Amino acid sequence: MISLHELYATGKSIREIAHITGHARNTVRKYLRSNGIPEPRYGQKRGSKLDPFKPLIDQFMAQGIFNCEVLLHLLRDQGYTGGITLIKDYVKPHRPPRKIPAVQRYETKPGYQAQVDWKICEYVDLDGEVRKIPVFAMVLGYSRMMYIEFAKRCDIHSFLRCLIHALEYFGGVPKKMLTDQMKTVILGIGDDRKPRWHPLFEDFAATVGMVPKVCRVRRPQTKGKVERAVQFIEQHFMAGRRFTDVEDLNRQARQRCDEQNRRIHGTTGERPIERLGQEELRAIPPEDHLAKYRFEVRKVSRDGFVSYDGVRYGVPWKYSGREVKVREINGCIEIYWEQKLIARHKKQHRSRTLVMCEHQYANLGTAQGYAYPKPQGIQIPVQDVEVRSLDVYERLAEVGT
């Protein structure tokens, strides 16, 4: 390649040389004045405000202090006037990788423990709207048997209903149940650092003979078995899932539970359904012991309906305004007043559905809307009064004087 000096020696002008080489004319002039391409001149590197404090930072890092906010505060006390960015740039290559504390693996004895949790899942409805639905998950610690059930609500009544269904699915009751500090069953922590259980849940646990336990706050690995079940629900079961209503969703969930419980578990190397036979579960109490936990109290509206899971179920109008008990059993909704069954309906799953009761408004017009006779006035018959002459009263007055 011909140099700039050779081109200039052939009689080329600076403009022509700039056009040939692509350099600016001033650049060509500068190169021609020098003996070849001039060496770049680098300015003297300026010092940093942090330089005097770097040995002090090294001492702090040797003590395990890598928080730049803390270092900034410590250096300011020593006269540092720079910003935090200089500290971050200096500390970054020295910062150790984040440490994850080791935990001891805990293997559960047969029948000793079950882990329970709620999870709020999202799905897209038929209108394209993103909606949320709670799901209950329970896992037996030894066998890894899993049970999941979706619900309309995550209150104490739904929790107990799902819990009863899970115990029936497993065929027995474990000795202990581990949960986090979910508001469904724990009202708070007392001064003695012990949980204050929901009275209904505490009564249920005593009835079935199961001791409730709560794991430490922000320690999800304490109940890692059910946490993995929740991840399975969110990442595998619900992903792309299509269903018509909650009943259909639970039908699919039950089928998937049966499939998972028949597969070889990655940790135990055995099928959970086979290890279930080794679980030392206690017998489930008789139905008459569990019946009261299936009921929820509702008030009948003036037009004779009871609201349950977003559906209004009709009852005879005579029970309007009264408190009744509702339970869900065998796919039906049963409504009781005191000990009397006053209505039974097939459970509906579409919200805002209105289900009438047979003869719901029979004789309503005749009774004028009152279940009992309306109080009325009683007419007293008028008795005949004897009419006397005034002479009689005058004679009586004379006798008195």
Mean pLDDT of 93-107: 70
DSSP labels, 232-300: HIIIIISTT---SSHHHHHHHHHHHHHHHHTSPPTTTSS-HHHHGGG--PBPPPPHHHHGGGGEEEEE-
Angle at 30 between CA 27 and CA 32, to 5 degrees: 110
Is the domain of 126 the same as that of 254? yes
- Is the pLDDT at 151 greater than 80, yes or no? yes
What is the Cα–Cα distance from 331 to 251, expressed in whole angstroms? Answer: 12
**Number of domains within the chain:** 4
If one compares 161 and 1, the residue with the highest pLDDT of the two is 161
Is the domain of 230 the same as that of 251? yes
Q: At what angle do helices 156-170 and 199-208 cross, to 10 degrees?
A: 20
Is the domain of 235 the same as that of 88? no
Domain membership of residue 160 (yes or no) is: yes
Domain membership of residue 391 (yes or no) is: no
Is the domain of 25 the same as that of 62? no
Domain membership of residue 135 as a residue range: 113-285
What pLDDT was estimated at residue 146?
Answer: 95
What pLDDT was estimated at residue 43?
Answer: 56
What pLDDT was estimated at residue 160?
Answer: 95
Is the domain of 309 the same as that of 238? no
Is the domain of 190 the same as that of 87? no
pLDDT bucket at 329, cuts 50 / 70 / 90: confident
pTM of the model as a whole: 0.66
- Is the pLDDT at 380 greater than 70, yes or no? no
DSSP labels, 71-121: HHHHHHHTT--S-HHHHHHHHGGGPPPPP-------PPPTTTEEEEEEEEE
Domain membership of residue 75 (yes or no) is: yes
If one compares 8 and 273, the residue with the highest pLDDT of the two is 273
What pLDDT was estimated at residue 383?
Answer: 60
Is the domain of 205 the same as that of 275? yes
Domain membership of residue 338 (yes or no) is: yes
Is the domain of 148 the same as that of 250? yes
Contacts of 205 (CB under 8 A, 6+ apart): 177, 197, 211, 212
Is the domain of 246 the same as that of 122? yes
Mean pLDDT of 376-385: 59
Domain membership of residue 178 (yes or no) is: yes
Is the domain of 13 the same as that of 142? no
What pLDDT was estimated at residue 104?
Answer: 56
Of 256, 285, 314, which residue sits at a domain end? 285
Task: Look up tokens 């910003």; give the residue.
Answer: 83
What pLDDT was estimated at residue 355?
Answer: 93
| Cβ contact 135:150 at 8 Å | yes
Is the domain of 266 the same as that of 324? no
What is the Cα–Cα distance from 358 to 301, expressed in whole angstroms? Answer: 17
Specify the DSSP element, H or E, that contains 341: strand 340-346
Q: For residue 317, what is the domain's CATH number?
A: 2.40.50
What pLDDT was estimated at residue 148?
Answer: 95
What pLDDT was estimated at residue 396?
Answer: 64
Is the domain of 220 the same as that of 85? no
- Provide the terminal-to-terminal Cα distance of the chain, rounded to the nearest Å: 166
- Is the pLDDT at 187 greater than 90, yes or no? no
Burial (0-12, 13-18, 19+ Cβ within 10 Å), 400: exposed
